[in-house]
Homo-oligomer: A and B are copies of this chain.
Amino acid sequence: MKAHITIKDLARELDISPSTVSRALKDHPDISPETKRLVKELAEEMNYKPNLIAQGLRKSKTNTIGVIVPELIHFFFSTVISGIENVAYARGYNVILCQSDENYQREVTDTRALWNSRVDGMLVSLSKETTKFDHFQEMLDDELPIVFFDRITDQLKTSQVIVDDYLGAYKAVELLINKGCKKIVHLAGPDTLEISRNRLKGYTDALESNGLSVDKNYIYPCVEGTYEESKVLTAEFMQRQPEVDGIFANNDMAALGSILALQDMNIDIPDQVKVVGFSDWQLSSLIKPRLTTVSQAGYEMGQEATSILIDQIESSSDPVIIKKVISTKLIERETT
């Protein structure tokens, strides 16, 4: 085990005060060049390492960004995190992450854990359960910069980065209509999330703009967003509503569940039923048939959110609220 050399050790050795040593190490103008040289040489010789924690506390900057995502296992969030890290490390920041596991209580605890880790700022995508925002308001009251991405709220005054979920959904449903679908099911996400509400609105507006009526019996909540959930659901509604000829799923995993159910029932994709997802997960181009989906540009979203956050951390003036919308891209593959 090593002994830790402190400023006091250097001070004792040189017979000067610790505060002189400290200021000498920081090139304070009040200290003579000769003293600075002596202190620095001794520091080098004695292998002095500044105490990072104490230094952090003094400057109150850790150069660390805290990130909270609902689930790490989501390919989308993994790509966002890559974008976050790309910008953060390039600008000299570390990234530490927490997952809320789609759980409000855990999100509250995670927020406090990151706060206790004295992060310089936070990037947050909300859990499905979150409808109260006091845990973030507390941090904002303490002037901790927070930027929300993807799963946002308008109840807090913060910058936000989202994709154009409404237009993405609208275009996805319009593609189904253009390909001849008339009875289109929507597998909807949890209505606590603004992104789900926007995708639902894109679905209904696309139907109406194209002269098709919106039928509530074709809208199914698929709140877990797992392929297992959607597989069971799809098998059920295809039995009851065999006229369905198109499915627009709130995410790719739900779309995958539909594909698996349709294949089990020997219903041809895309001839009998066409399927579109949302997110462009990695597996969407690897399954057969390859899934048509809406690409969300997660990497770019992570980069944008991080740039905004670090600008805010490093700015001395009052934060400017920025709302950035990234466009989506419809990727046509084999399911349409």
Return chain B residues, CB-CB under 8 Å to A113. 62, 64, 94, 96
**Identical copies in the complex:** 2
Which one of A1-9, A145-153, A206-214 is at the interface? A1-9
A94-B98, A287-B287 known; 11 new pairs, CB 8 Å cut-off, are A2-B3, A2-B4, A52-B115, A62-B117, A64-B117, A72-B97, A73-B82, A96-B114, A283-B283, A283-B287, A287-B288
Say yes or no: is A227 at the interface (Cβ < 8 Å to chain B). Answer: yes
Whether B73 contacts A78 by the Cβ 8 Å rule is yes
Complex: chain B residue closest to A64, CB-CB? B113
Say yes or no: is A197 at the interface (Cβ < 8 Å to chain B). Answer: no
Whether A116 contacts B62 in the complex (CB less than 8 A), given A47-B3, A49-B3, A283-B283, comes out as yes
Whether A106 contacts B81 in the complex (CB less than 8 A), given A2-B3, A227-B286, comes out as no
Whether A141 contacts B78 by the Cβ 8 Å rule is no
Return chain B residues, CB-CB under 8 Å to A116. 52-53, 56, 62, 64, 117-118
CB distance from A224 to the nearest CB of B (A): 15
Whether A78 contacts B72 by the Cβ 8 Å rule is yes
A interface residues, Cβ below 8 angstroms from B = 1-6, 47, 49, 51-53, 56, 62, 64, 66, 72-73, 75, 78-79, 81-82, 85, 89, 94-99, 101, 106, 109-110, 112-118, 141, 227, 256, 260, 282-283, 286-288
How many angstroms from the CA of A94 to the CA of B106 in the assembled complex? 9
Return chain B residues, CB-CB under 8 Å to A66. 96
Return chain B residues, CB-CB under 8 Å to A110. 94
Whether A2 contacts B141 by the Cβ 8 Å rule is yes
Return chain B residues, CB-CB under 8 Å to A53. 52, 116, 118
How many angstroms from the CA of A287 to the CA of B287 in the assembled complex? 5
Most chain B beta carbons < 10 A, residue from A79, A94, A227: A94
Return chain B residues, CB-CB under 8 Å to A72. 72, 78, 81, 97
